[in-house]
Amino acid sequence: MTAVRTTTPATPPPRLPVRDKAAALDRGWGGVSPMLTRLAAERATGILVRERGTLHLADGKVVHAESPAAPGADVLLAAHGTLDPDVWRQALAESVASTGGAGTGARRLTGAEAVHRAGRRLVAGGLLTAGALEMCRLTALYDAAYFALAPSSTPGRFRYGSEDGPEEPAVEPREPDDTPGGPRPVPVADLERETLRRRDLLHRIWPDALPDEVPLTREHRPAPPLLPARRQAVLARVDGIRTASEIARELGRPAFHTLVDVRRLVAAGVVAPRPPVSLTEPLPGPPGEGPPVESVESVDPHITLLKRLRDALEAL
């Protein structure tokens, strides 16, 4: 029998690095957009164009966001009489014109700059308070960013600098844009953290995201539940044609808040997404008999059974 002598190393080998998920969640780096995370680390300035919206960055922080699915700050301001829409359009036109016309050598304003300067003009003119402007600006920013950071099938594109050319100092109007203060940039970590929180909230209310994007229809129930006024206003605009984003724009509300109301209505069984239709499948039976009928895709039988059980229990 041969004895083998082993020696114990003086120092143990280093442990493999382990990702701290809790710490990553606290920082907000939840993998929402790896490109945005990298741009924040680079302190980049420019515009990140994604499938469902754009983010404007300055020194690695977000200063403005836009999405076709979310109403802008001007819609939120004009929704309940805070600001007349014509007044906003005039302030926006004056802000754009203040940089000079073609041939003057002045860089055109980006969308974020134009919106900010229009708001400052209204504040300087006493037509809007600084607090109302900043509240609506941040509300619209987080609202649009939620949709812009949604999972997409196409990669994002980033344009360094300004929208329309090299980064040159724009001509600053003397009045009234010299008002002290400016838009407060939002750190990318905060934006990602809030985006993840909103996704989780919607998932807890109703896990299916289909009602967020397709036209909505009403569900007729034997005993409809009592709804608060906010949800009743949303329900009144459900007609089988409007989507949640269109309802939000008509009501002058943030689109994400409207998604919350829509998913609660779906969970209550009073609203349902309109099933997608197929116009390619032929009508059963001999051809040429009767008008063409749109065939609908099957609904999840588990969801249908749960709805029937709920309606039966409420009818007792």
User: pLDDT tens across 45-67, in order?
Assistant: 999 999 999 999 999 999 999 99
The count of other CB atoms within 10 Å of the CB of residue 139 is: 18
pLDDT for 161: 84
Q: Give the integer Cα–Cα distance in Å for 273 and 214.
A: 6
The average pLDDT across 129-141 equals 90
Do 77 and 175 belong to one domain? yes
Do 58 and 165 belong to one domain? yes
Do 78 and 226 belong to one domain? no
The pLDDT of residue 157 is above 90: yes
The pLDDT of residue 12 is above 50: yes
Q: Does 243 reside within a domain?
A: yes
Do 161 and 255 belong to one domain? no
pLDDT for 158: 95
* 190 half-sphere exposure, CB direction, 13 A CA radius: 11
Which pairing describes strands 53-58 and 61-66: parallel, antiparallel, or unpaired?
antiparallel
Residue count (the chain) = 316
Do 182 and 260 belong to one domain? no
pLDDT for 308: 66
Do 141 and 273 belong to one domain? no
Q: Does 223 reside within a domain?
A: yes
Whole-number Cα distances in Å, 107 to 143, 172, 179, 227: 29, 11, 21, 51
The count of other CB atoms within 10 Å of the CB of residue 136 is: 23
Do 99 and 171 belong to one domain? yes
Do 47 and 153 belong to one domain? yes
The pLDDT of residue 177 is above 90: no
Of 187, 221, 250, which residue sits at a domain end? 187
Q: What is the pLDDT of residues 67-91, one digit of tens each?
A: 999 998 888 888 877 788 888 888 8
The pLDDT of residue 173 is above 50: no
The average pLDDT across 119-133 equals 88
Do 270 and 236 belong to one domain? yes
- For the record, the structure tokens of 151 come out as 């999972």
Do 36 and 145 belong to one domain? yes
For the chain, the average pLDDT equals 78
Q: Are 19 and 73 within 8 A, CB to CB?
A: no
Do 169 and 62 belong to one domain? yes
pLDDT for 162: 57
Q: Give the integer Cα–Cα distance in Å for 129 and 82.
A: 10
Do 78 and 174 belong to one domain? yes
Q: How many domains does the chain have?
A: 2
Q: Which domain holds residue 243?
A: 206-278+296-315
Q: Does 291 reside within a domain?
A: no
